[in-house]
Amino acid sequence: MNYLKIPYQDIQRLVQFSKLNGESKKIILNEIANYNRGTLPEDFIEHVSKVVPMKLIEAQDIFSLVVNLLNTKNAYNESNDNFFKLLSKSLNEIENYTNEEKENFLVDLKDIIFNTGKEILVSITAIGLLTDNSKVFLSSNILHDLKPIFVDNIVEGAVIANKLKIEYKENDVDKEIFLTLDEKDLEALKKSIEIAEIKLLSLKDKANVNIINF
């Protein structure tokens, strides 16, 4: 393999990174190098946008560049040195930029590659495993509604309607569903959660690998 071609969109992201001042680049590279395993990408992006500071969309573009480079390097199983060499030729062939600008791009590309560790890849892969479903849970809440019972215009009593609200994401679209529960249902739900927590702790104790929590 003589070289790897950098996608046009990633070149634009690299150009965007190169336009930052030296201090901003230093902050971003340091954050990338110290990425904590189990950090959600959206939390990392928001954090970077605040500490630089920069627009959220700009931080997202730079993180996308980092992830794309990391995935490509991992796919070809190349070392940092070889991966940089394979990309360098492709970067030198891009048009509409001066030789000096291209040299700056190469410096920035090398800095990104050599400051990106496997923690980001591990976290991205873990998220993919957790969300390998068309429906992903977001949040839940239980609502209570006291409803009087009228007979011949006289209140003869009341019932309490318990509604379980579940918010979830399906195909990148936020949705919600409401389920009616009685007291027995609430007790059964509580018991199911308690059992799940016990099984979770047991599974963690038996696991012989590090468990990544988000």
Tell whether 93 and 154 lie within a shared domain. no
C-beta separation of 129 from 147 below 8 A: no
Structural domain includes residue 3:
no
- Shared domain for 63 and 14, answered yes or no, is yes
CA distance 114 to 107: 11
Residue type, 118: K
Peptide bond into 53 cis (omega under 30): yes
Q: What is the pLDDT of residues 36-92, one digit of tens each?
A: 988 999 999 999 999 999 999 999 999 999 999 999 999 999 999 999 999 998 888
The pTM for the full model equals: 0.75
Residues 106 and 147 in one domain: no
Q: Which of 99-103, 132-136, 185-189 has the lowest mean pLDDT?
A: 132-136
In this structure, is residue 212 part of a structural domain? Answer: no
Question: Residue 12 is part of which domain span?
Answer: 8-130
